[in-house]
Chains A and B, each alone.
Chain A
Amino acid sequence: MLRALVAGVLVSIACSIVGTFVVLRGLAFIGDALAHGILPGVAVALLLGLPGIVGAAVGALVMIGGVSLVTQRSRLSSDSAIGLLFVGMLALGVVIVSRSSSFSGDLVRILFGEILGVGVEDLLVQAAAVVFVGLVAWVFARPFLLLCFDAEQAEVAGFPARRYHALMLLLVATTVIVSFQTVGTLLVFGMLLAPASAGALIAHRIGAMMTWASLLGAISAYLGLLLSYYLNFAAGASIVLVATILFFLVFLVVNARGRAVPRREAVE
């Protein structure tokens, strides 16, 4: 149980840092696609007896590569390219898993995670991922900020937009890969989106947004595990459910207060 909580908090922190960029830069759809696109990779890895994380990494690479290829070499928008690869990879994943003997068990495990079965090694990998993600976000805070503000401004300021966009996707992929064991491929996206979105509503600075998101994410992990323990709910799903409910609570509170606060008018 303690291990599950540590795992949940680690996932929350990584997801909050990366989710902040996902929300601000409008990467939600590709984040979602990545989370699901790793399914066939994980499935193949499990069939071959390899660690799921290796398969997940390969799946994410195929996903990003495929989306870039289709977007650049055709007139399709990235939405369509992402959607196409997303369902394709998901279907492939289910097809592969359906060949395995313990079909439903494996599939449920991959889709929804098994936070209660997280081992010490998994925790170490997750902690390393948090450090990596945090370090990259800190070092490249300025280009990331410019990119979220205006990709053209980043480009003119000498920070190539394409390069830093790719780096951001790498962070999303890293987070999804190390988090899927905890909350599952289907739900990791919720942890990427819900706390960061709530943070965006509260905070007036990006650092504050990440802090709020981490806090809300950690609370979700704690409450979700409690729910799961006492009411026998699925753990991963409970965490994401709490995170989503927290988002709507924040949304309601901010909206109610926003009405009361007058806008600041002209300066002169």
Chain B
Amino acid sequence: MNGPVAWRTRHRHAAGRGPVPGAGRPISIEARGLAVGYESRPVVEGIDLVVRARTSLALVGTNGSGKSTLLRTLVGLLPALGGELSVLGSPPKGAPARIAYLGQFHAAGFVLPLRAIDVVRMGRFPNLGLLRRMSSADHELVAEAMRAMGVDALAGEPLRSLSGGQQQRVYLAQVLARRADLVVLDEPTAGLDAGGRERYLRAFAAELERGATLVTATHDIAEAVEYDQVLLLARRVVALGPGREVLTADRLLDTFGIVLHDPHLEHAGRLVVAERAHGHPQIVDTDPRAP
């Protein structure tokens, strides 16, 4: 488990010199003047966005900046408050079997009498419908997803006996098992240990290679740098573009409010962002000048 993980698709430089990475591939998400928010109160307005198949988009911003709201609008949990939005060629919610979503909060856990494998199997439900039995191909996808997240040995364990990080791995395996064309994840690495993070990075880089579109809300700027596109949000669109171009000290200052220039760290090619959105500072490590 070493070496860099290929977040961007290999053909990016061959195909995508234009403004939108992956030019020529089918469009997975297209937003024009999109406004997102809750109960007709917009959180972010005027989002223009094109995300093509086999490319990745990271949403970066503080808590409350509109990341989750945008993700929830993309998967159809919230109605768009304005503008146009097309997801996989139809309005959101048009193709449930082709979309996988993992939200930030999971109410489930302690009451539900479920084994880890039952949770991963749920990933196949949209394809199976109400009564069709799981085929051997379905079982193989489930097993493969559990191996990818390193939870195959826990398959028969009750969900409630697993630690928070193990549960998160199981939820991510459920997402993998869906074999979705569009994968939407809200802070997927929260609670994961180093091993879990490594597996997550590899598994979802493989999803991208397979042809999926990946949209992730993240606090991890070092990870975001590796995405084809980064959307910086601060209850408005701060910037949109390739990770290395967008994630500059100035823009991060604009997004997070405070950027600490530590000469010691800068010497090492690192930048530290302190986020104080909700009173508790959070240090985010970044390396925008890395080759």
Q: Give Cα A158–Cα B122 distance, bound, in whole angstroms.
A: 12
Residue B130 CB within 8 A of the other chain: yes
Q: Mark B100-134, 1 if CB is under 8 A from A, else 0.
A: 11010011100111110011001001101111000
How many residues of chain A get a CB closer than 8 Å to chain B's CBs? Answer: 32
Given contacts A158-B97, A204-B114, A267-B154, contact A149 B108 (CB under 8 A): yes
Q: Which residue of A lies closest to B72 (CB)?
A: A152
Residue A252 CB within 8 A of the other chain: no
What A residues does B119 contact at CB under 8 A?
A: 149
What B residues does A149 contact at CB under 8 A?
A: 108, 112, 114, 119, 122
How many residues of chain B get a CB closer than 8 Å to chain A's CBs? Answer: 39
Centre residue among A148, A159, A204, A264 by max chain B CB count within 10 A: A204
Main secondary structure on chain A at its contact with chain B? helix
Residue A125 CB within 8 A of the other chain: no
The smallest beta-carbon distance between B130 and chain A, in angstroms, is 6
B108, B128, B161, B166: the one contacting A267 at CB < 8 Å is: B166
What A residues does B250 contact at CB under 8 A?
A: none
Q: Which residue of B lies closest to A138 (CB)?
A: B131
The smallest beta-carbon distance between B93 and chain A, in angstroms, is 8
The smallest beta-carbon distance between A264 and chain B, in angstroms, is 6
B76, B107, B130, B153: the one contacting A142 at CB < 8 Å is: B130
Q: Give Cα A264–Cα B154 distance, bound, in whole angstroms.
A: 9
The smallest beta-carbon distance between B103 and chain A, in angstroms, is 6
User: Would B131 and A200 count as touching, CB distance under 8 A?
Assistant: no
Given contacts A146-B122, A205-B118, contact A23 B99 (CB under 8 A): no
Residue A203 CB within 8 A of the other chain: yes
User: Would A155 and B77 count as touching, CB distance under 8 A?
Assistant: yes
B167-220: which have CB < 8 Å to A?
193, 195
What A residues does B112 contact at CB under 8 A?
A: 24, 148-149, 206
Residue A156 CB within 8 A of the other chain: yes
User: Would A23 and B111 count as touching, CB distance under 8 A?
Assistant: yes
Centre residue among A156, A158, A206, A265 by max chain B CB count within 10 A: A156
The smallest beta-carbon distance between A130 and chain B, in angstroms, is 20
The smallest beta-carbon distance between A26 and chain B, in angstroms, is 8
Residue B75 CB within 8 A of the other chain: yes
Given contacts A267-B151, A268-B195, contact A156 B76 (CB under 8 A): yes
B100, B130, B157, B193: the one contacting A266 at CB < 8 Å is: B193
Given contacts A142-B125, A156-B76, contact A209 B113 (CB under 8 A): yes
A151-191: which have CB < 8 Å to B?
152-153, 155-159
A143, A148, A152, A159: the one contacting B101 at CB < 8 Å is: A152
Residue A263 CB within 8 A of the other chain: yes
What B residues does A248 contact at CB under 8 A?
A: none
Residue B26 CB within 8 A of the other chain: no
Q: Which residue of A lies closest to B153 (CB)?
A: A267
Q: Give Cα A208–Cα B114 distance, bound, in whole angstroms.
A: 10
User: Would B157 and A264 count as touching, CB distance under 8 A?
Assistant: yes
Residue A140 CB within 8 A of the other chain: yes
A7-30: which have CB < 8 Å to B?
23-24
User: Would A142 and B128 count as touching, CB distance under 8 A?
Assistant: yes
A-B contact pairs, 23 of them (CB 8 A): A23-B111, A140-B130, A142-B125, A142-B129, A148-B108, A148-B112, A149-B119, A149-B122, A152-B103, A153-B101, A153-B103, A156-B75, A156-B93, A156-B100, A157-B122, A158-B93, A203-B113, A204-B114, A205-B118, A263-B163, A264-B162, A266-B163, A266-B166
Pairs A-B, 9 closest by C-beta atoms: A158-B96, A204-B158, A157-B126, A203-B113, A268-B195, A156-B101, A149-B108, A142-B125, A209-B113
